[in-house]
């Protein structure tokens, strides 16, 4: 059970606790057990994403996710302890799932079978673009001689962590947009072969915004996974691709739930007459996580040689009646924009076991 403890939560846990367990394991799943270590159910990142989109609060009981499922999906798919790896892989393929808890005859966990650990991840037809050209002004003096995406986080450059996560997800074609100190990035990655990917460099002679540089990419019939280069995340890229396809979207925006707590009592009044008083209310929003998946034809909305941001692109798509959807990032996510974020990232990679 020692190796399984990172997946475990009990029946009294909240959705937020489940998110913490999913971050801790990095495998997209938490296991709910009773006081006798018997499996009650499984909670996946998909369960939490659907709850967030439905407006369910993160402090709600984790058991509330179970009743939101169709009746035939409330009982987890499991396997007996004697099942072979081949049988486990076949079971996951049949049910189109990524995890199978393996139980003894008393219903207690023996191990967790994970599909990607039983098979070699095939290359998927998606190209990635990482925006790595920013100056990192708010991170000075750290960025005086180092591009922000090349800052060392837990023994590795941040950009290397992203490239390696893309490779493990089956994404092999990676473009890096560069502007500030591009030679530092070129010298480290070369053609990408040492990192198991094929790297194409896109030089921005002038900053073109969060979408403008996409106009410089060669034509391709593959969807584009675009992300900011200053993000440290454990997001499941394969799940993002599945979500995008399932919703038949032109563009999918990764979003993160953000909480804002007002430190005062909020008075609601009409013409000076108090109607209600809320003591230190908490508001929740979905904010842009800097991760996008675009269909190939979306590039035609991006003008050449001028600044154009993702907000402009999304606006253009909506005006044309194209479908834009949100993908909640329930895994670990941190935008490293300031010195405090950089310091937090160093602590987090240690606690999550991500340090090199």
- Residue the block writes with tokens 């219903």: 107
Q: Is 1 helix (H, G, I), strand (E, B) or coil?
A: coil
User: Of 75, 168, 206, 280, which one is the catalytic site residue?
Assistant: 280
- Distance CA(15)–CA(25), nearest Å, equals 15
Q: Which of 235, 259, 255, 236 is nearest to 16 (CA)?
A: 259
Burial class (CB in 10 A: 0-12, 13-18, 19+), 314: buried
Dihedral angle computed from the Cα positions of residues 103, 352, 134 and 189, in that order, rounded to the nearest 10 degrees: -70
Q: How many CB atoms lie within 10 A of CB 26?
A: 16
Q: Is 280 a catalytic residue?
A: yes
- Distance CA(215)–CA(124), nearest Å, equals 23
Alpha helices (H) in the chain, listed in sequence order: 15-25, 45-53, 63-67, 85-95, 115-118, 158-168, 182-189, 209-212, 237-246, 310-319, 339-351
Q: Which of 71, 72, 73 is nearest to 43 (CA)?
A: 73
- Residue the block writes with tokens 């799943």: 29
Torsion sign across C-alpha atoms 292, 296, 297, 303: positive
CB 129 within 8 A of CB 175: yes
Q: Which of 329, 348, 245, 338 is nearest to 287 (CA)?
A: 329
| SS3 annotation, 219-233 | CCCCCEEEEECCEEE
| SS3 annotation, 115-169 | HHHHCCCCCCCCEEEEECCCCCHHHCCCCCCCCHHHCEECCEEHHHHHHHHHHHC
| Active site amino acids | 280
């Amino acid at each position: 059970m020692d190796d399984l403890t990172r997946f475990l939560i009990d029946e009294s846990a909240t959705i937020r606790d489940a998110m913490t367990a999913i971050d801790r394991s990095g495998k997209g799943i938490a296991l709910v057990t009773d006081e006798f270590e018997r499996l009650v159910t499984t909670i996946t990142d998909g369960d939490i994403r659907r709850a967030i989109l439905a407006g369910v609060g993160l402090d709600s009981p984790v058991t509330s996710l179970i009743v939101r499922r169709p009746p035939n999906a409330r009982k987890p798919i499991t396997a007996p302890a004697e099942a072979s790896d081949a049988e486990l892989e076949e079971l996951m393929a049949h049910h189109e799932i990524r995890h199978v808890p393996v139980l003894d005859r008393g219903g207690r966990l023996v191990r967790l079978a994970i599909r990607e650990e039983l098979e070699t991840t095939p290359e998927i037809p998606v190209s990635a673009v990482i925006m790595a050209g920013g100056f990192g002004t708010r991170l000075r003096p750290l960025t005086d001689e180092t591009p922000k995406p090349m800052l060392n986080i837990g023994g590795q450059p941040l950009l290397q962590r992203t490239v390696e996560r893309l490779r493990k997800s089956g994404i092999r074609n990676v473009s890096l947009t560069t502007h500030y100190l591009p030679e530092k990035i070129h010298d480290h990655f070369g053609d990408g072969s040492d990192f198991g990917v094929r790297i194409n460099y896109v030089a921005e002679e002038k900053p073109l915004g969060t979408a403008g540089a996409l106009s410089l990419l060669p034509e391709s019939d593959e969807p584009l996974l675009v992300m900011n280069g200053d993000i440290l995340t454990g997001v499941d890229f394969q799940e993002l691709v599945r979500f995008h396809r399932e919703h038949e979207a032109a563009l999918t925006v990764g979003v993160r739930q953000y909480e804002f707590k007002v430190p005062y009592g909020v008075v609601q009044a009409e013409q000076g007459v108090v109607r209600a008083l809320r003591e230190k209310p908490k508001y929740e929003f979905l904010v842009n996580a800097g991760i996008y998946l675009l269909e190939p034809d979306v590039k035609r909305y991006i003008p050449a040689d001028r600044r154009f941001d993702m907000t402009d692109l999304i606006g253009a798509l909506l005006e044309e009646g194209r479908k834009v959807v949100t993908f909640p990032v329930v895994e670990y996510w941190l935008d490293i924009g300031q010195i405090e974020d950089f310091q937090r990232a160093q602590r987090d990679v240690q606690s999550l076991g991500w340090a090199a």
